[in-house]
Structure 1
């Protein structure tokens, strides 16, 4: 009986000291190293309290997207920046503080208004512009995503206004940057493009 008890303790001690487990491999590189496919059965649906797991293609390691070190953000975030009392209708630079090494910012919607007034635009001095296109976009400046907004060639006759700019903020681990896809229309208004490389 004593021998069995000692052997059981020895076996338990061996299991507690085993730091890495390998499946289909005798040389595990992580706490759990699986060489082969993993099948997960049906599970219940949830809309909160869970994270997205992605695979590092260079190491095979599974990682949680948008968790520690990133303010517990989700992989894809939706935010509306409300920029008030801007210079007429012009936002030369709005520095968002969003790190381009971690996230990509995509402008999805924008609107300009002045409180309690009808928005009127007029051409700048000495110009004969009749139409002032809305020009809203995001770029990287000073190592952060920066928003720009303007009605090109025009100024607000209604005073300083407010821009509401809605953006998707996407974790870079979910994004694959494809090469540019140039197309020469040859002066035509329509063009049959091809499926972009990489898709």
Structure 2
């Protein structure tokens, strides 16, 4: 992926963009329709080369630039080919990004890069979901599991609860129901060419209902609801690495060696803004 910087960071933070390596002999034959400032060999429609006197400072400054929301509620120079919309929102604006030779591109809307999705899956088999297809393309998006909750169903005239299955600790003691509930196993996984999939389950547990004041009577298996919140972002705007550390049987440790090198490389990369 091209290493890009937000133009706002370039303007305000004084980032130094490396000069282009130009084949001047060839570039001289491609100057038609191009304008150069501080250069006789423009390589784009407008090329601005920083001067020696301005070294270390941004070569471009915008003065009295209106805020993005100044155009909300009225078209801006529509008769001159400008914005024809009568109402704008922040999502209508895109930042400019600059690659490592200074070329400027239109970027993604900042607030559209990441989103939260709350997924409610009703009437599952008891408490069990197996590889539920989220419809989110694994190759295009990075997805993170943020939170989850399991909701017991409401059954008229009955009480519902998670109870242990056969071969697990008994669900009855002294004629009263009880259950030992361990944290559920919730997994989010995917493979190239497919979608992200969810699995969730309380191991060795069932969701059952029984009549009030009748702890020894028959029970009925019922179905519950999972409520799962996901964080989603395009993969091209998310850096991803895998690091591995061997604790050699200890319960304490720290990232070190090759893992530390990989981690610091990533941290340095995402700090270049």
Listed as ranges, the gaps of 5+ residues in structure 1 are 1-16, 68-72
- Work out which of the residue numbers 197, 200, 204 in structure 2 matches 1:153: 204
Query: Are 2:218 and 1:180 aligned?
Result: no
Query: Are 2:132 and 1:83 aligned?
Result: no
Q: Distance in 2 between matches of 1:154 and 1:35?
A: 68
Query: Are 2:108 and 1:65 aligned?
Result: yes
| Counterpart in the other structure of 2:195 | 144
Larger relative strand fraction = 1
Deviation at 1:34, TM superposition (A): 5.3
Secondary structure of 1:65's aligned partner: coil
Secondary structure of 2:188's aligned partner: strand
Query: Are 2:165 and 1:124 aligned?
Result: yes
Cα RMSD between the aligned structures?
3.6
Q: Any idea what the Cα deviations from partners look like across 1:30-51, whole Å, max 9, x if unmatched?
A: x555566565558637682333
| Counterpart in the other structure of 1:100 | 138
Secondary structure of 2:236's aligned partner: helix
Query: Are 2:70 and 1:28 aligned?
Result: no
After alignment, is 140-149 or 178-187 more displaced?
178-187
Q: Distance in 1 between matches of 2:200 and 2:61?
A: 47
Q: Which has the higher contact order (CA 8 A, sep 6+)?
A: 1
Query: Are 2:44 and 1:44 aligned?
Result: no
Deviation at 1:171, TM superposition (A): 1.7
- Work out which of the residue numbers 85, 93, 115 in structure 1 matches 2:153: 115
Larger relative helix fraction = 2
Question: Residue 44 and residue 133 in structure 1: after superposition, are their counterparts in 2 closer, same or farther (change >3 A)?
Answer: same
- Greater CA radius of gyration, 1 or 2? 2
- Work out which of the residue numbers 229, 246, 265 in structure 2 matches 1:166: 229
Question: Residue 181 and residue 166 in structure 1: after superposition, are their counterparts in 2 closer, same or farther (change >3 A)?
Answer: same
After alignment, is 52-61 or 110-119 more displaced?
52-61
Deviation at 1:140, TM superposition (A): 0.9
Deviation at 1:56, TM superposition (A): 5.5
Verify the 8 A CA contact 1:139 1:145 in the aligned structure 2: yes
* TM-score normalised by the chain length of structure 1: 0.67
Verify the 8 A CA contact 2:49 2:59 in the aligned structure 1: no
Q: Distance in 2 between matches of 1:60 and 1:157?
A: 63
